[in-house]
Amino acid sequence: MSNTEIESRIRRFIDENFIFSEDDANLDGAASLLDAGLVDSTGILELVTFLESDFAIQVADAEIIPDNLDSIDAIVAYVAGKQGAASSVAA
Amino acid sequence: MLDAGVIRSNDQRDPVAAGGIRPCGVDDIPAVARLFQTTFQQGRKAGGQSLELHLRRELFEHPWQDPRLPSLVFEGADGAVAGFIAVRPHRLLLDGEPVLAAVGGTLMVDKSVSNPLMGARLLRSYLNGPQDLSFSETANEISRSMWDRLGGRTEPAYSMEWLRILRPAAMAVDVLATKSRAATAVAPLARLFDRGAARLRANPLPVDPSRDRGEEVGESDFVDAVLPLSATYPLRPDWNRESLSWFVGQASEKERFGPPVRRIVRDRKGRPVGAYLYCVQPGAIAFVLDIFAAPKAAEEVVDDLIADAWRRGAIAVRGRVQPELADLLLRRKAVFVHASSMVVHTRRAELLAAIHSGDALITGLAGETWSALIGGLFS
């Protein structure tokens, strides 16, 4: 799956579940979801569940850190990395 | 499963962002106690027990201590404890078959560290443990929502408290006094009113003092009575004398709710047909941990409780709703209100079914509220 496709699906999920104001509709890819108040402890779990089901990856507890999940860019890189690792193992 | 280890990173914005989860050790108790004081005890009067001693006893001297089910701490990159969840091992029987359960509660994070991932990670780590059943009867709205996102379910029948008012005027003064201390000035009048109302035949909240037919007993007799009475539930704790005595002992240290009273009710042949444990003091709302009753004796047991609480000067009695007693309590003029939520997480449908049908003994002594962290006063 391309990074563009991953980003598109993540943006759609965040848009449908966490964005309630038009001001946040065109969220910068590098913007912190935590600092913007878009995601809280419940939202993080919702996001993790989405990533596991939609991208067929396993998110380890230790991977639930801001480095991986705090912005759209970070999430895209994380998912792409997990999928890349999975395909390397499969090959 | 637990984090593999503490994660280190160069993230300078938030040192705890780089932290990790590990089992809570005895050495963590002072830090956990400080976190507890900050999270739950601010504004409350101190007293009674040493919190550190209590935590040591509850977390490390638990009769069902299990190395597979440790409490968890979130350790920041600086090594400080920034989050905690108490995991209390629980042995249940479903139709006689053992069930490994873990009660999760006292989820707390250092609010001075802005990191909403800590609580989520602690809860997720606990729920990913080896237990067949995870549950908590004290989930607040945030916790309930997090359990829900992780596949948990809220059980409404176990998420309610019942309240039976005994002295309505005193109760009204008590409620008003939470808004203004001046309300206590009318307390003597309220007592007069309640005394008069008790004599009225048309009293909508009657108490029959003659129904006080039980007897107060010591811990040992109470345990002997409860063991057979609890055995009728399809899903119940795997208590023996030793383990049940430990839970009863812990539940007897709720200084905020008053001294503990253990009573049993006997049939005509002197056999125990009911037992209950509650904390009661004059002028306050009594707090019931559990009511155990043989089906045909339930009315007698609840009536004994109401009469005993009245005799001891309580203004009302409250407790967690036990589904099998809900109808009787409604008929005894109790009102039901939402309390903290009972949340359940399991992959075994038969466990969910037993709980959902109201056939489970999983609250009070059999759940989480036996803990002195609920209702205790700590130095």
Q: Please tell me the number of Cα atoms within 13 Å of A3 on its side-chain side.
A: 11
For residue A76, the domain's CATH number is: 1.10.1200.10
Mark out the alpha helices in B3-93 (DSSP H runs).
29-40, 51-60
Domain that holds residue A23: 3-90
Number of domains composing chain A: 1
| C-alpha–C-alpha distance, residues B117 and B71, integer Å | 18
Q: Copy the structure tokens of residue B184.
A: 């206590």
User: With contacts defined as CB-CB under 8 Å, which chain A residues touch B128?
Assistant: 61
User: With contacts defined as CB-CB under 8 Å, which chain A residues touch B18?
Assistant: 65, 67
Tally helices (H) and strands (E) across chain A.
Answer: 4, 0
Q: Which residue of A has its CA nearest to B143?
A: A42
Indicate the fold that domain B160-166+205-339 takes in CATH.
Answer: Aminopeptidase (3.40.630)
Whether A42 sits inside 8 A of B120 (CB atoms) is yes
Q: How far is B20 from chain A (nearest CA, A)?
A: 6
Give the start-to-end residue ranges of the domains of chain B: 15-158, 160-166+205-339
Q: How confident is the model over B155-178, as pLDDT tens digits?
A: 999 999 999 999 998 988 888 888
Here the ipTM equals 0.81
Interface of B with A (CB under 8 A): 1-5, 7, 9, 11, 14, 17-18, 20-21, 114-121, 123-125, 128, 142, 145-146, 149-150
Q: How confident is the model over B87-143, as pLDDT tens digits?
A: 999 999 999 999 999 999 999 988 766 567 888 999 999 999 999 999 999 999 989
Whether A60 sits inside 8 A of B4 (CB atoms) is yes
Q: How confident is the model over A16-39, as pLDDT tens digits?
A: 888 766 666 678 889 999 888 888
How would you label B218-244 residue by residue, b for 16+ Cβ within 10 Å and e otherwise? eeeebbebbbebbeebebbbebeeebb
Please tell me the class of the B15-158 domain: alpha beta
Q: Is residue A58 less than 8 Å (CB to CB) from chain B?
A: no
Whether A41 sits inside 8 A of B17 (CB atoms) is no
Do B15-158 and B160-166+205-339 have matching folds?
A: yes
Interface test with A, best of B108, B117, B140, B145 (most A CBs within 10 A): B117
* pLDDT level of residue B11 (50, 70, 90 thresholds): very low
Q: How far is A59 from chain B (nearest CA, A)?
A: 11
